[in-house]
């Protein structure tokens, strides 16, 4: 009896399993007949889309720090990865040679100051000498004037006495005495003239002209010009001494500056990215030894199609993510839209600035951004999987229905927003398009019945 019950139960289970399996196969057959695409009419839609772009993270502010001093590295204060503030020491170059040079220049400065005092005293004495010579010239001119007056008076007296001698009013002896006086006065006048001529050498207007000086008409200025002419050597010696002093002082100042610059400071706040020198290593002037980057702000560089440039603007917010943090949505602002189009890619570089307050980004990270379209225009949108790839990245093919048969039609992919693409080409509103998985379709296949709805992009 028990055995019969067992056999009856087994029969029932087998029957149920067979029926269930048959139903499943029937359902599968129904699913197999369902097409992976639908024919839907195109329609123009005006809605805000997004421009999807790819790019990378780079520094907004970076400093390659070089040494201004030739020497060996004495100390290293900061290593790669260390944070620094503006003006903080990074390294120090040895300054022994500079300190020796500074001591030499300081001693030379003291000697040169004494030299200036000496040449200044000589210059003052030469001016005093010239003043005396000018005074002597004035005295000689006065003596010349007196001797000439004496000579002229004796000549007039002689002429008068000659007339008196003719009438016997003057003796011959007296007349001879006057003649002797005239000869003596003439000699004195000649000597006075020669003395003036001798003393005036170097103090004449022609002397000024030969030396390249202007000849002033004013008496006081003429006097000053003659003093300058006759003290030109002493004045030049003083000028040279002063110039040497300035040269030594300039050398001291430059040495002090180099000693100051031997301590290499960070020009900005940030983090040490590269340290390319070691203690004791010789460095040259202009040799790069550190790279410090400001990690408070970063630039993201994206290549945007030329057709999309009129749809974005500066200061516009941009939402992006980096591959290292795919679920973290970050917000930046467009800083620069390049006015130059790359002739090969037909794109322009758009730079987005991001404040790295959370310290999330690093240079070189790969970024994906979506920029909102600020000027949406009526356009055709279809799902991206409904487009077969073309030769170029922004080209493709769709399947359209013509006389109930499927044919390929080339389109241009203007932008991609999520799972949908904005396309252009020889398209018309209401045209039937295969929407869905079209990878297995071939031209000439029969087109299925259309769905009575239009292809739009989900918001």
Q: What residues contact residue 455 under an 8 Å CB cut-off, 6+ apart?
A: 40, 41, 42, 43, 380, 381, 382, 433, 435
CATH 1.10.287 in the chain, residues?
99-246
Q: Report the alpha-carbon distance of residue 70 to residue 282 in Å, rounded.
A: 8
Q: Report the alpha-carbon distance of residue 402 to residue 431 in Å, rounded.
A: 9
Q: Report the alpha-carbon distance of residue 298 to residue 322 in Å, rounded.
A: 13
Structure tokens at 85: 């503030």
Per-residue pLDDT of the chain (459 residues; tens, 9 = 90+): 444 444 444 444 444 444 444 444 444 444 455 788 999 999 988 766 788 899 999 999 999 999 999 999 999 999 999 999 999 999 999 999 999 999 999 999 999 999 999 999 999 999 999 999 999 999 999 999 999 999 999 999 988 888 888 888 888 888 889 889 999 999 999 999 999 999 999 999 999 999 999 999 999 999 999 999 999 999 999 999 999 999 999 999 999 999 999 999 999 999 999 999 999 999 998 899 999 999 999 999 999 999 889 889 999 999 999 999 988 999 999 999 999 999 999 999 999 999 999 889 999 999 999 898 887 778 898 998 999 999 888 899 999 999 999 999 999 988 777 688 889 999 999 999 999 999 889 999 998 888 755 454 444
Backbone torsions φ then ψ of 391, nearest 5 degrees: -70, -40
* CATH fold of the domain at 62-94+261-289: OB fold (Dihydrolipoamide Acetyltransferase, E2P) (2.40.50)
Q: Report the alpha-carbon distance of residue 73 to residue 91 in Å, rounded.
A: 7
**270: how many CB neighbours lie within 10 A of its CB?**
22
Nearest to 416 by CA among 366, 353, 373, 352: 373
CATH 2.40.50.100 in the chain, residues?
62-94+261-289
> For the whole model, what pTM was predicted?
0.56
Residue 168 gets the label, from left (phi > 0), alpha (psi -120 to 50) or beta, of left
Span 99-246 CATH architecture: Orthogonal Bundle (1.10)
The strand order across the sheet containing 282-283 reads 263-265, 89-93, 71-76, 282-283
How many CA atoms lie less than 13 Å away from 66 in the CB half-sphere?
7
């Amino acid at each position: 009896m028990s055995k019969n019950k067992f056999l009856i139960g087994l029969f029932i289970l087998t029957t149920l399993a067979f029926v269930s399996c048959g139903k499943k196969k029937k359902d599968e057959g129904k699913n197999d007949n369902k097409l992976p695409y639908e024919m839907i009419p195109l329609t123009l839609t005006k809605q805000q889309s997004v421009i999807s772009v790819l790019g990378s993270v780079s520094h907004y502010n970076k400093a390659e720090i070089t040494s201004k001093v030739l020497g060996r590295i004495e100390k290293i204060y900061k290593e790669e990865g260390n944070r620094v503030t503006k003006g903080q020491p990074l390294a120090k170059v040895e300054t022994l040679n500079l300190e020796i040079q500074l001591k030499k220049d300081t001693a030379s400065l003291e000697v040169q100051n004494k030299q200036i005092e000496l040449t200044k005293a000589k210059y003052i004495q030469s001016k005093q000498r010239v003043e005396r010579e000018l005074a002597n010239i004035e005295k000689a001119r006065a003596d010349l004037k007196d001797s000439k007056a004496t000579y002229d008076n004796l000549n007039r007296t002689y002429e008068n006495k000659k007339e008196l001698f003719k009438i016997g009013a003057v003796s011959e002896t007296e007349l001879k005495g006057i003649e002797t006086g005239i000869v003596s006065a003439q000699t004195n006048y000649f000597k006075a003239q020669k003395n003036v001529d001798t003393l005036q050498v170097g103090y004449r207007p022609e002397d000024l002209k030969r030396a390249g000086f202007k000849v002033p008409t004013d008496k006081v200025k003429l006097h000053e010009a003659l003093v300058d002419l006759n003290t030109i050597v002493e004045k030049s010696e003083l000028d040279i001494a002063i110039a040497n002093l300035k040269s030594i002082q300039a050398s001291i100042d430059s040495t002090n500056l180099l000693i100051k610059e031997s301590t290499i400071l960070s020009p900005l706040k940030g983090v040490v990215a590269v340290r390319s020198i070691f203690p004791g290593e010789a460095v040259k002037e202009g040799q790069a030894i550190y790279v410090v980057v400001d990690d408070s702000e970063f630039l993201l560089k994206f290549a945007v199609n030329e057709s999309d440039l009129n749809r974005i603007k500066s200061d516009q917010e941009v939402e992006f993510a980096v591959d290292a943090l795919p679920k973290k949505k970050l917000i930046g602002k467009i800083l620069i839209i390049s006015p130059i189009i790359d002739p090969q890619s037909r794109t322009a570089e758009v730079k987005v600035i991001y404040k790295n307050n959370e310290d999330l980004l690093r240079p070189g990270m790969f970024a994906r951004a979506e920029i909102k379209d600020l000027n949406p225009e009526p356009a055709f949108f279809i799902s991206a999987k409904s487009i077969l790839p073309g030769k170029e990245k922004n080209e493709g093919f769709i399947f359209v229905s013509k006389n109930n048969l499927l044919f390929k039609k080339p389109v241009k992919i203007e932008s991609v927003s999520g799972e949908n693409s904005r396309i252009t080409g020889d398209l018309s509103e209401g045209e039937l398009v295969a929407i869905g998985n079209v990878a297995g379709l071939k031209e000439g296949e029969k087109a299925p019945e259309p769905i009575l709805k239009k292809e739009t992009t989900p918001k």
